Amino acid sequence: MSGGDKLPVLAFPAPSPSRPRAADPRQLARAAEALRQASEGKATLGRRDEGPPAPGAPMPEDSFTPVGIPRGRAGPRESGREGLSRISRIAAPKDAAARRILSLHLPHFAIERWQRQAARGGEAPPEGTPLALALEGPHGPVIHAVNGAARGMGLGPGARVVDMRAICPELRTAFADPRADAAALQRLMLWARRWCPWTAVDGADALVMDITGADHLWGGEAMMLEEIGTRLAGLGLTARAAIAPTRGAAWALARFGAPRAICGAEDLAMRTDPLPATALRLDAATVQLLDRLGLSTIGALRAVPRPSLARRFRAGPPEADPLLRLDQLSGRTPEPVDSPDDPPRFTVQARLPEPVIDPVPHLPALADELCAALVAGGFGARRLALALYRTDGEVAQAQAATSRPSHDAAHMVRLFEGRLDGLDPGFGFDLITLAALVAEALPPRQRRLDGEAEGAEDLARLIDRLSARFGARALTRPRPAPSHIPERQTLWLPALHLPPQRFAPRADRPLRLFEPPEELRVLYAVPEGPPAQFVWRRQRLRVARFAGPERIAPEWWRDRRGTRLRDYFRIEDHTGRRFWLYREGLLGDGRGAEPRWFLHGAFA
């Protein structure tokens, strides 16, 4: 190694005879490392002190061989790959084998999506024509993705289109659409939930799935990988998949390992040590620096003492921290699958032997199975989701909600009546799932002696069906609000989202209020009383009898400054009709001119 490649070493001044000699910082680092290993149970590695180093020999913590393996690190029985594998197994947490992560890499997703869309529109180029998707760069269009014919001619992403035309004059180009690619990858992520409930997008061309406990549904991990590869090949997508105990290991094996690699916790180090340092998801500058230091593989980097890596790389982001990436790969640092939403607790699915167009005949069996699971758990569904997985990689969904928890299968089926007609079946569905997105506790209740359902249940079913047919906002229910202003005392909210409760309005208030209150033209008013005659809707009305006033002051914490108080009167006109009107303001209150009169409601 050259002098520029060595790690910086701080020079300490020589201790004076009058002071006690300071401890060597490198010996302190070795002692701290030994203490940490002892606390983590690494003392069983059989590594003992070989005594002080020979005079003139470099310190083992800061010295590297040309291949990046520290001298004096491994004993004679733990040298090479065996020693590294044993260190990795001990450093990994005990539950490292409990998780199984699948990384699905789609290296040519952008160009293959474009080709598939062009084929649907009849604009696909002839077979064997070199094609490239380009993006605008600072000095002209830059290649974003190429097809197989262009790759065979040496073209690749990152190069300028004008330069590649000199190599391949027959190159055809089209503009890339990263937003459409991201949207298609998001839809593919939802479609991938046919294999497991935990899926997430991983970058611009990959998916990550937590398949823990789901592989047995497909006959094992090997059969699951074969199923995924076959399905994606049918969609025209090139895919590389790998399964490992950690997300970092699965990512590395999917891109740099053998096709359809399956790695266990016991052989994690053996399978990942030969991979290049790029497999740790490091940026280009960090990979170049590691290559200059002779650390070109994960195994070489794993053999470097942790304090040395921490001193050199801890100041950077995760993409520039090899120690953090090593911990994520080995399972020392957890890295869960960040799925956009949690999978439902209760879900059932029906795999069909061949695609179908109409999913309605399969709904009763799915509803019966879902309700059996809900009853066994003591729950009732509040929100249902029906997902239809199409053979072309799309997912059609329909949702329904209930006002009360329910595990009635027939009622669930009726909620989807007429709601599946607008779903596009494409070339057919081959997988149907019914899930309870929201479930609430529903203890068993004793029915009436005659076996009939309670009236509240019938009302809840009616609300559910009307809301499913006409929309949740079409059916409202009153709910009291904490206010003494009449128009603010009642809120009309969707009946589907409100729990059933008794609403008893005041007897001295009308059920019907005008919104907004209608202004009156007063012809003659009784002092401190209601108007004797007034005009409302071009009708002259004479007051026969009245009751009041009931004074309501404004809410100072809510109303604007200068809002006037109200005096409400219940009156009856000469024809027998009863109204509720009020006078806004008083003479001389300093908040306006003459008081104004309004009609606020009418009694039945």
**Alpha carbon 356 to chain centroid, angstroms:** 30
What is the arithmetic mean of pLDDT over 245-256? 95
Three-state secondary structure along 558-597?
Answer: CCCCCCCCEEEEEEEECCCCEEEEEEECCCCCCCCCCCEE
Tokens 């914490």 sit on residue: 557
Contacts of 168 (CB under 8 A, 6+ apart): 130, 150, 153, 155
**Two tokens, residue 442:** 């529903």
Q: Bridge partners of 210?
A: 101, 198
Does position 344 have pLDDT exceeding 80, yes or no?
A: yes
Percent residues over pLDDT 70 in the chain: 80
Residue 546 region, left (φ>0) first, then alpha (ψ -120 to 50), else beta? beta
Q: How confident is the model at residue 529 (pLDDT cuts 50, 70, 90)?
A: confident
What is the arithmetic mean of pLDDT over 215-239? 92
pLDDT, position 435: 93
For the chain, give the mean pLDDT. Answer: 80
Q: Phi and psi (nearest 5°) for 182?
A: -65, -40
Q: How confident is the model at residue 370 (pLDDT cuts 50, 70, 90)?
A: very high
Cis peptide before 70 (omega within 30 of 0): no
What is the arithmetic mean of pLDDT over 379-403? 89
Cα(224)–Cα(432) distance, rounded to whole angstroms?
Answer: 19
Cα(65)–Cα(300) distance, rounded to whole angstroms?
Answer: 10
Does position 456 have pLDDT exceeding 80, yes or no?
A: no
Q: How confident is the model at residue 82 (pLDDT cuts 50, 70, 90)?
A: very low
3-class secondary-structure state, position 58:
coil
User: What would the pLDDT profile of 262-271 be if each residue is shown by its tens digit?
Assistant: 999 999 999 9
Inter-residue contact 435 to 351 (CB < 8 Å): no
Three-state secondary structure along 317-370?
Answer: CHHHCHHHHHHHHHCCCCCCCCCCCCCCCEEEEEEEEEEECCCHHHHHHHHHHH
pLDDT, position 486: 87
Does position 137 have pLDDT exceeding 50, yes or no?
A: yes
Cα(589)–Cα(282) distance, rounded to whole angstroms?
Answer: 75
Side chain identity, residue 567: D
pLDDT, position 580: 92
What is Dmax (Cα atoms) for the chain? 120
Among candidates 432, 405, 390, 407, which has minimal Cα distance to 188? Answer: 390
Cα(161)–Cα(141) distance, rounded to whole angstroms?
Answer: 6
HSE value, Cβ hemisphere, 13 Å, CA-based, for 25: 9
**Two tokens, residue 600:** 């606020």
Cα(104)–Cα(227) distance, rounded to whole angstroms?
Answer: 13
User: What would the pLDDT profile of 535-560 be if each residue is shown by its tens digit?
Assistant: 999 889 999 998 888 898 888 888 88
User: What would the pLDDT profile of 353-369 be if each residue is shown by its tens digit?
Assistant: 888 888 888 999 999 99
